[in-house]
Amino acid sequence: MLDHRSVNENLEEVKARLAQRNAQVDWDRFSSLIAERSQAIQAFEQRRHEQKTKSTEFGRYARDPEEGPKRRAELKELSDLIKDLEKRQGDLEAELEEFMLHLPNVPHSSTPVGGGEEDNVVVRTVGEPGSYDFEPKAHWDVGTDLGIIDLETATVVSGSRFVLYRGMGVYLELGLAMFMLDVAREAGYEPVMPPYLVLRDAMVGTGQLPKFEEDAFKVDDYFMIPTAEVPVTNMHRQTILEEEQLPIKYVAYSSCFRREAGSAGKDTRGITRVHQFQKVELVKFTRPEDSYEELEKLTANAETVLQRLELPYRVSALCTGDIGFSAAKCYDIEVWLPGQRLYREISSCSNFEDFQARRANIRYRPAGDKKPKTRFVHTINGSGLAVGRTIVALLENYQQADGTVTIPPALQPYLGGKKVIRRGEW
């Protein structure tokens, strides 16, 4: 969440920056709320001062048969007015907070300016797409032919946009997750396995609510997590950390649940965009002055997985019109898929600056000063990686002419030393 004071003090700059990300904002309503809130605070404070003065004076007239009742009635009337003013102030505070919860983050100055994904900037390309002496297939054909991806049965059980893994598909899913967790652990991330159901406040804290409620699955008073970013970031909700603790680094493995309400007609084949999928997530809490350096490190940590799996990929800096609601800067890591002849996002690594920390009230106490003023941390996260999309990349890049799929050397120890996936073997 943006700080309304900072927005008001730098209104024209914020307007221009949010316009770059195509945000539709009722700025007249914002200015009106700021003015009304200021007036309400001033009126409340004036009446409170008046109340204190008259309360002090009342002692002199309390026993006076004429002035006493008169002054008592004036104090009662003033007390009722103050209660009304206090309620008015509270209502305006709540309305202003609700307004701010719908405002996206301000893009960082290094975020490329653009209207949509066509304006994203490729930062680097790593590895060369392989060559084949046969026509490479898409993962849905490779996986179905091997009997490790069963989309037909998944549809019978759960409907569209679900996947059922079978045989080696199960071990591939679990082996990849363990491999990714080990890569993150080497880089100093503490492993976490979070709950899959969270409270509304947790979803608000990371920016999924209230704006994207239609994309979330809800069970009674709980929300099913769309990403482990939600419970892991909220591990330090309403917390004051010590500067010496930063950066804090977590890696989490979880299932993720998304309605994909805004993606009707997109990626309907295969397992690229489904309602339930597994992901290994990297989350950092940092000092503000370190956060952009830590974003680069986190992105490199996610890239390490693809490098060890020897998968060709590229990294793109998302433009202002394509970054996520809470992000100030974002890199997409896109893996090459020869069966579909395109690069496909497999990780998004974002710096939210203090946007989430304000919503979740996550602060730290700077070291050194005797009575240091607390500051909001910066939060960073990224997929390290989406497991299902990594399976997609492996099936398409390592497919063979005979229908088998070879397993890259780095992954073989996590699959019992197996080197080739064949139909009917597990």
- Three-state DSSP class for 24? coil
Catalytic residue at 345?
yes
Please tell me which residue in 254, 348, 350, 383 is annotated as part of the active site: 348
Rounded Cα distance, 182 and 251, in Å:
10
Q: Which of 179, 153, 123 is nearest to 316 (CA)?
A: 123
Spot the catalytic one: 258, 316, 347, 383.
258
Torsion of CA 85, 87, 88, 89, to 10 degrees: 90
Calpha distance 115→212 (Å, rounded): 21
Answer for the pair 336, 343: CB distance below 8 angstroms, yes or no: yes
Known active-site residue 348: yes
Exactly one of 21, 37, 237, 389 is catalytic; name it: 389
Radius of gyration of the CA atoms of the chain, in A: 27
Q: Which of 74, 308, 345, 365 is catalytic?
A: 345
Q: How far apart are CA 330 and CA 349, in angstroms?
A: 6
**Measuring CA to CA, which residue among 245, 243, 252, 282 is closest to residue 367?**
243
- Taking the C-alpha atoms of residue 192 and residue 190, their distance in angstroms, rounded to an integer, is 7
DSSP 282-331: EEEEE-GGGHHHHHHHHHHHHHHHHHHTT--EEEEEPPTTTS-TT-SEEE
Compute the distance between CA of residue 143 and CA of residue 145 in angstroms, rounded to an integer.
6
Q: Give me the catalytic one of 273, 287, 375, 422.
A: 273
Is 389 noted as a catalytic residue in this protein? yes
Residues tagged active-site: 258, 273, 345, 348, 389
